[in-house]
Structure 1
Amino acid sequence: MKHKLLSFFVGSMILSSVAFAQEKKVSGRVTGADGKPLVGVTIAVQGSNIATQTDANGKYSLSVPVGKVMVFRYVGHSDKTIIVKDGQSLFNVSLEDQNTALDEVVVVAYGTAKKESVTGSVTSVSAKDIEKRPVTNAFAALEGSAAGIQLNNTSGMPGAEPSIRIRGFSSLNGSNDPLYVVDGVPFGGNISDINPNDVESISVLKDASSSALYGSRASNGVIIITTKKGKAGRSQVNVSTDQGFYSRGIAEYSRVNDRQFMEAMWMGYRNNLLTSSSTKYPTTQSANDEASKSLVSNYLKLNIYDKDDDKLFDANGKLVSDAQIKSGYRDDLDWFSEVDRIGHRQNYNIDGNTATDKAKVFYSTGYLDEKGYIKNSGLKRFTGRLNAELQAKNWFKYGFNLAGSHQISDRISGSTDDAGSFTNPFNYARSIAPIYPIHLHNPDGTYALDALGDKQFDNGESTRLQYVGRHTIWENELNSDQTIRNTVNGRGFLEFKFLKDFTFTLNGDLNLRNSERRTYNNAVIGDGNGQGRAARNIYRYKNYTLQQLLSWNKDFGKHHVDVLAGHENYSDNWSYLYGYKTDETFAGKTDMVNFTKITSLYDYQEDYRVESFLSRARYNYDGKYFAEASFRRDGSSRFSPENRWGNFWSLGGSWIVSKEDFFKDALRVVNDLKVRASYGEVGNDESANKYAHLALYDIDQNANMAALYKKQNASPDLIWETSSSFSAAIETRLFQRANLSFEYFNKQSQNLIFDVNLPLSAGATSTSSAVSTITRNIGSMSNRGFELTFDVDVLKGDGWKWNIGANATWLTNKILALPEENRENGIIT
């Protein structure tokens, strides 16, 4: 027995010695092409979980089994592989700069990929591109940076969310906004709450092949934001600030001057006399005389000239040449000077990062103060972020992202809701006649001052024919419209590696937003005239996402396979409270307690859920031929149980022609050449309201008793809007200096959702009532076009280059089918 135990002990020692001899510690230094050390280079051992990063001096060390392959990877540089051989422990490596855009690593759906392997249409913007522009919203960096992307600032107000369209419109009644994804998880908050300084990269997925894995919410494309993480090397803290001034980017429309206006009014007034009072003014001369005599007193109401009312016009209706504007009026007719101003922006950021072999941490805080170019508009935003990753074991990693923001925005009433409204200051200043002053004046043109010697605004009751009782500048000074928003976003993940080639990831994301809009209309002029009024709009948002993802990566010689399968839950809850009171007690006090009469008070909430199953398979052979397929099944609470689930999929392939042997002779001119094509189908449920499949009733009162009335017909047959997309592209690099790509795309959208009128025979008593309509899948439309992107390194030097680029998009949006007309007369399907 003792002999057996001793034999086992000696055998174990021998096996341990053999195992120990098979693994050795290696070290070295990694530099760039210029010989300078590279910080944060990832060194990974193929087929294992062994990995590390270089320190601030570009040095590294790790234990590697003999015969294994070490892979050195660094952003902007080509990968390098080295086989660890017995007898060598020092490996100094120099990484070459990437000379090809195909080596670039981009963020795609549920992961990353080299651009050469991407079979769909993906555009990316890096942190360096964002830092070049002093933007409030990170998406502003996309403007002009990529073909097929259109950004519009819908209101011009500081902090306003831009309208983003990717390759046109996919729906007529629903949202055409893309899906936003932050750090791998669909994001339900406001993008303006994210500090651009925290963004590492932005990827735009433009076609079905690249976005189909996001299923029902990807019909308008996907924008993926990746925030910064800790980087290897010395801990560091960065402080940055920028300040600037800005003004309107579009010049004002040309308008008639005071003389042109007076003569046009004379002509219109004269013609009206001839047509509507022909008996009293039977001849042109009699109408001319009356127009010259009574235009001001009967119509315009105000004469700003140094001539009497009946001496302003000659016999042909022209303003007499020596008529001059009275001196008191001359400097009081420019409404724009009192509406706009030079905006001022100041931005302060502090961020830092630290990293070891086991942990990476990034933290930041920021403050933005932006005064808009419209008076009394502005934005103040405070942001904070903490991102952390910890490698607890070789097989287990976990981390979290925590971000918050506090935002106060002041805006001008009417400026965001209706650009044509007279409450919009620009529309008011543009539309008011050029003879009406801002302030009250005495008959001699001097200012009419109040008891304190101050100028008085003119409400137009006795001096104007238009906008009587309104005054955009006066209202802007007395009214207020402020929104206060607080947000908290938290994400956590657990990552397990097992059986060598498998990775299981759990992701959880929670987004909370509280927003309160405080509106006040004064009791002196405008909508609150006579009593004053105040309103509160209080919003509460809560949404969360849970993901379970299993991936498998395997190399078989020149074959590489990458498979992903997962499950995802998304839940969104929105509650709303509205209160509206009138009859203020103390002038200018905006708190609700200052008002005595409750005019309106109501609240409601909505819930929305999506459950999804997803899968993707990617294959490449020898880094030349790539194929990808994805499938997703979504169930949406917007549809009836019978029609709740939709299937969405994509297929794509690409070929790196420049890696073929027959292409070697052309490499001096065409350094890279890639062709790709893809087809896929995605869905959209945003056109349907959150309870579209149900009949809805509202509560009211009749004779002081509760009553129910129908407000929506049920639409149980409603199904998903779907978009089928095909795209094909050629991407190339020329003379190691220029990049050129050309892409064709064709997207067909079917089953578009519309509200259509029911025939009167169906029981609808009025075509304008809510129950006279029903929601149906009826319409279809197409988007097709071309994209061209080009950039060239004009000059290159040691560590710098001058690159210029341009892109163009040709797009045709065509509506193919709409609801039939005259449904109320009996046409119904």
Structure 2
Amino acid sequence: MYKQLTMLVLALLFSAAIWAQNRISGLVTDASLLPLAGATISLKNGQALTTTDSSGRFSVTLNRGEVIQVSYTGMISRTITIAAETSLSIALQPSAVNLDDVVVVGYGATKKSDLTGSVATIKADELKNAKVGTATSALQGLAAGVFVTTGSVKPGGDASVVIRGSGSLRAGNSPLYVVDGIPVEGGLQDLSPGDIQSIEVLKDASSAAIYGSRGSNGVILVTTRQGSKGKSRITLNLNGGFQKMMNKQKLMNAQQYYQLASRAIPDYSWTSEELRYLSRGLSTDWQDAITQDGKYSNYNLGISGGSETVKHFLGADFYDQQGTIKNSSFRKLTLRYNMDAQTNSWLKTGLRFNIIESALKNINEEDDSGYGTMFSAISSQPTAPVYLDNGDYFDGFLNTKANPVAIVDLLDKVTKKSRAVGSVYFEIEPVKGLKIRSDNGGELEFFNVNSYEDGRMGQHYPDGGHAVKFNGKKRYMQSENTATYMFDVNSIHRFTILGGFSASKYTYESTTADSKNLSPVLGYDNLGGAQNHGPNGSYASASTLTSFYGRLNYNLDDRYLFTVTMRQDGSSRFAPGKQWGFFPSAAIAWRISKEAFMEEQDLFSELKLRASIGRLGNQNIGDYAYAATISQGGEWSDYVFGGNLATGSVQNTISNPNLTWEKANQLDLGLDFGMLKNRIAGTIDVYYKKTTDLLWLVPLPTESGFDNSLTNIGQINNKGIEFSLTTININTKHFSWRTSGNFSFNDNKIAELYNGKTDVNKALFVGRHMSTYYTLQADGIWQADELAKAAVYNAQPGDRKVKDLNNDGVINGDDRAFSGISVPKYYGSFTNTFRYKGVELIAFFTYAGGHLINNSLNRYLNSFNTWGNMSEEYYNGYWTPARPSNRYPAPRIGSPYSNGDGTNANFQKGDYLRLRNIELAYQFPASSFVRKISSSGMRVYASVQNAVTWTRFTGFDVESSDNTNPYPNARSFIAGLSINF
């Protein structure tokens, strides 16, 4: 009886235990919903239960109330108490730093903990802060020391990047871009952000010296997405929205313009159309007439998968943007295929292939200075109607400007580009640790710019129509061959030795056909039917680069790290005897946190001190710049022979057989730290960069017969400090808060020019920033009680006052003074990411300051002129005897310095803080709905790009580099869906 009772009790207890257990299934993803294969599921006591499969899924049997821990390398572990649910959706957040992350460096990769140089890593997830725009513009604010300027916000426009300050006067300051091992020109404009796996920015000499003559401005390495073994994964990202023009200029209406012009010039000549328009009480808002709400959409598909031997990735991306200026647009289709195959135990092969097709329509802002679409719109008089009564476009504009609406209606300008970039590699491992690799590839690009300007667009454009066809072809080929040997001695001394040889060739050719007076029916497709032809032309050039390079990495017991790099380049861009340059570097790092005396403390989980020194080069001078060139035609080569005009040739540039590289010598000191188990992590770098042998056009004496000669001169110094910090502020089961930010400060100085000169044309000054303003100093407005003194300077009350700094009674160039700099002294960004269960809020801010912007629009809008409109603010605030303004001059013809030219009157502070992106997203749990569509994760989001900007600048955009012929920036409202299968 006792035995039976005991068995009954045990059976009941066993049944209760079974009843209390749940079969739990789960999905583990990163913050972007990408499944994490190999994540560890363990009990709180450390006992491992299982790992996730290739789809990020797992299944375990657990009791209610048990606590599990989900962990993954580089992520913050999650602790979860099992309740009644049977399905879990677990998103892991990245830690502030992951020392085991693999970082791509030139011709190889290394763990972040083993870096000796200054390298910033940007993951694909961080690029989502910029939905509209290129991958280049998406870099803004993501890395300390990397300053991104909005070159143009037009559809298809790209940004410019400067790393650690400008160091060249003429040879460019853009970094070298390398995508999957192939150098590319023009930034990352053609690269789909959805195809990017990571971006590394090589900032110091140690990290960039492996690129030698092309590394002086830093190097940006891009690695695209690769395949992975296991079940095929499909990622689909869809987003789209609309854009609204920012900072529309407030201008006078027709009645205000009529009153002002009539008051200033009583005999002002009005056209009959304008008088009729005014009599009807009408006014034209030219900005509204040519702009619209822009539209944007982007569709990105990625398929990755493979086996133990072959891995592949296929990506397709379609980008479509309709601009805020009517009839302007950009479309781009990108196809990418990446494959890696382990053919056998000693042979590995791979393929990288990318095809891009793009079309840019009706953008002429930069090419048509003074007559661009937006400039015409803000300067055209509001008294002018868009159309005449007979339906023709009004063409009675002052100063022969074009009709803005006619431009957007009749201009037919299309830029088409077809580009293929690819490479194939073979890698053998004949013995353990030795890898020999040959990587061969290049790019081929065809592009054409077809333009037809209808004569009805305005007086500026020729009657009868004007068509131009410009066709070009670029071809780049390279072969990179490396041998890498890795070995260790007693697991204490670890060595990596790299040696390599590369050769590359770049060719370019173009043709131009120009015709006038031809039918608008066929436009640029009927050049043969034109009455006038020319000027026509063609051009071709080529350059080659041959290089030998090597690198030694030595790791002593994970505490002391050493790197020595050297490269020798031979470039055809320099004269014989000057073609070879040598670029060495060395670096050392001390992982203090690995020392025995750090074992007893819990504050620092990582502490590393770095130092590097080296030399980099710059050969960006174009082809044949060292040689004398000859041109045909022109006033100096035309002559009369036998009573007829003949065309000859004449030398137009002088040779310089001593022309050589620009050289950038750089010293960097850095500190990497991680605190509180890497919940706080950051980097501090200080650097000094000295650029010598600057490439510059030095003026020549008149008797030489030449204007100038390209010569190596002078020295520019850049020094600065960079700081980046990431903190995991809160990380609980349901809520997390992460903050990351960076700050950069750069001080630029010209240390030397040439021949002992302290300045060049009062534009470049020894001891000053290379972007220094040197101008006359505006000093308000001459008032009536200063009449006698104003007369000394040929001025009247109401004219702009300029300081006579040397008190000689004359205003001239001797009264100029330094008025600030045009580039920011400091810049950076900060991001806060909040997550509550499946809800995510991201706020991304960028900022810059310490500089002035010459708001060139104000020279037209805030002073009286007889050729176009002015601002409403000027109308309400210009000087009159009854309203003695001290800001805006009186509307008077002949008033000296009225528009502020040559003075600092139009300078405005460029300091700004911009909420560049704010995004609200929801990550769906692994619910029955998600499983029903066989998805491994789904995320929906809404974002606003360029949401708010705090600045005193009044132009179209504080970040734009062009304020005269601007394409206005826009605020974008976007919704999107990311889904994985």
For normalisation by structure 1, the TM-score amounts to 0.77
Which residue, out of 449, 464, 474, partners 2:389?
A: 449
After TM superposition, list the pairs within 5 Å mapping 1:386-465 onto structure 2: 386-413=337-364, 415-417=365-367, 421-433=369-381, 435-439=382-386, 449-450=389-390, 456-460=392-396
Q: In the superposition, relative to structure 1, how do residues 252 and 779 fare at CA in structure 2: closer, same or farther (>3 Å)? A: farther
Q: In the superposition, relative to structure 1, how do residues 232 and 261 fare at CA in structure 2: closer, same or farther (>3 Å)? A: same
Contact kept? 1:39, 1:233, Cα under 8 Å: no
Distance 1:584 1:166 in 2: 48
Contact kept? 2:715, 2:752, Cα under 8 Å: yes
Distance 1:538 1:597 in 2: 20
1:569-609 deviation per Cα after TM superposition (whole angstroms, max 9, x unaligned): 12100001011011113457332344232122111100011
Match of 2:326 in 1: 375
Distance 2:469 2:483 in 1: 46
Distance 1:58 1:551 in 2: 34
Match of 2:659 in 1: 718
Contact kept? 1:188, 1:511, Cα under 8 Å: no
Q: In the superposition, relative to structure 1, how do residues 351 and 808 fare at CA in structure 2: closer, same or farther (>3 Å)? A: same
After TM superposition, list the pairs within 5 Å mapping 1:65-84 onto structure 2: 76=74
Contact kept? 1:758, 1:823, Cα under 8 Å: no
Distance 1:356 1:823 in 2: 64
Which residue, out of 200, 204, 215, partners 2:201?
A: 204
Which residue, out of 713, 737, 755, partners 2:679?
A: 737
Match of 2:416 in 1: 484
Which residue, out of 466, 470, 483, partners 1:550?
A: 483
Equivalences, count: 683
Contact kept? 1:522, 1:588, Cα under 8 Å: no
The answer on 1:121 being equivalent to 2:91 is no
Q: Compute the displacement of 1:666 (Å).
A: 3.1
Amino acid at match of 1:648: F
Distance 1:628 1:236 in 2: 38
Q: In the superposition, relative to structure 1, how do residues 691 and 41 fare at CA in structure 2: closer, same or farther (>3 Å)? A: farther
Q: Compute the displacement of 1:189 (Å).
A: 6.6
Q: Compute the displacement of 1:470 (Å).
A: 2.0
The answer on 1:520 being equivalent to 2:452 is yes
The answer on 1:748 being equivalent to 2:696 is no
Q: Compute the displacement of 1:620 (Å).
A: 1.2
Amino acid at match of 1:238: T
Distance 2:760 2:406 in 1: 48
Contiguous gaps of at least 5 residues in structure 2: 1-26, 41-50, 59-70, 78-91, 762-981
Q: Compute the displacement of 1:255 (Å).
A: 4.8
Match of 2:572 in 1: 637
Q: Compute the displacement of 1:115 (Å).
A: 1.6
Q: Compute the displacement of 1:734 (Å).
A: 2.7
1:79-119 deviation per Cα after TM superposition (whole angstroms, max 9, x unaligned): 9xxxxxxxxxxxxxxx9986743333211111111122112
Q: In the superposition, relative to structure 1, how do residues 539 and 641 fare at CA in structure 2: closer, same or farther (>3 Å)? A: same
Q: Compute the displacement of 1:141 (Å).
A: 2.4
Q: Compute the displacement of 1:696 (Å).
A: 1.5
Distance 2:55 2:209 in 1: 43
Q: In the superposition, relative to structure 1, how do residues 255 and 98 fare at CA in structure 2: closer, same or farther (>3 Å)? A: closer
Match of 2:501 in 1: 567
Q: In the superposition, relative to structure 1, how do residues 593 and 787 fare at CA in structure 2: closer, same or farther (>3 Å)? A: same
After TM superposition, list the pairs within 5 Å mapping 1:307-706 onto structure 2: 328-330=280-282, 332-413=283-364, 415-417=365-367, 421-433=369-381, 435-439=382-386, 449-450=389-390, 456-460=392-396, 466-468=398-400, 470-526=402-458, 527-556=460-489, 557-587=491-521, 589-591=523-525, 592-667=527-602, 669-686=603-620, 688-700=621-633, 703=644, 705=646
Contact kept? 1:152, 1:163, Cα under 8 Å: yes
Higher RCO (Cα < 8 Å, 6 or more apart)? 2
Q: In the superposition, relative to structure 1, how do residues 37 and 634 fare at CA in structure 2: closer, same or farther (>3 Å)? A: closer
Match of 1:194 in 2: 191
Contact kept? 2:673, 2:682, Cα under 8 Å: yes
> Max radius of gyration: which structure?
1
Distance 2:723 2:669 in 1: 12
Q: Compute the displacement of 1:184 (Å).
A: 2.2
Distance 2:570 2:393 in 1: 59
Distance 1:302 1:779 in 2: 60
Distance 1:199 1:55 in 2: 24
Distance 1:753 1:456 in 2: 52
1:729-756 deviation per Cα after TM superposition (whole angstroms, max 9, x unaligned): 2222233422232221111111111112
Give SS of 1:39's match. Answer: coil
After TM superposition, list the pairs within 5 Å mapping 1:152-301 onto structure 2: 152-188=149-185, 191-249=188-246, 251-253=247-249, 255=251, 265=261, 268-269=264-265, 295=266, 297-299=267-269
Q: In the superposition, relative to structure 1, how do residues 198 and 594 fare at CA in structure 2: closer, same or farther (>3 Å)? A: farther
Distance 2:263 2:280 in 1: 27
Further displaced range: 218-227 or 780-789: 780-789
Contact kept? 1:302, 1:436, Cα under 8 Å: no
Distance 1:372 1:662 in 2: 61
Give SS of 1:393's match. Answer: coil
Distance 1:190 1:139 in 2: 6
Q: Compute the displacement of 1:194 (Å).
A: 1.8
Amino acid at match of 1:200: Q
CA RMSD, Structure 1 to Structure 2 (Å): 3.2
Contact kept? 2:376, 2:401, Cα under 8 Å: no
Distance 2:626 2:521 in 1: 48
Distance 1:302 1:37 in 2: 70
Q: In the superposition, relative to structure 1, how do residues 97 and 777 fare at CA in structure 2: closer, same or farther (>3 Å)? A: closer
Contact kept? 2:278, 2:383, Cα under 8 Å: no
Distance 1:57 1:151 in 2: 37
Q: In the superposition, relative to structure 1, how do residues 439 and 505 fare at CA in structure 2: closer, same or farther (>3 Å)? A: same
Contact kept? 1:404, 1:488, Cα under 8 Å: yes
For normalisation by structure 2, the TM-score amounts to 0.65
Distance 1:431 1:572 in 2: 43
The percent of aligned pairs where both chains have the same amino acid is: 27
Distance 1:584 1:247 in 2: 37
Match of 1:68 in 2: none
Q: In the superposition, relative to structure 1, how do residues 784 and 644 fare at CA in structure 2: closer, same or farther (>3 Å)? A: same
Distance 1:369 1:706 in 2: 48
Amino acid at match of 1:298: Y
1:617-655 deviation per Cα after TM superposition (whole angstroms, max 9, x unaligned): 111112121111100001111111111111111111112
Q: Compute the displacement of 1:473 (Å).
A: 2.0
Q: In the superposition, relative to structure 1, how do residues 263 and 622 fare at CA in structure 2: closer, same or farther (>3 Å)? A: farther
Match of 1:15 in 2: none
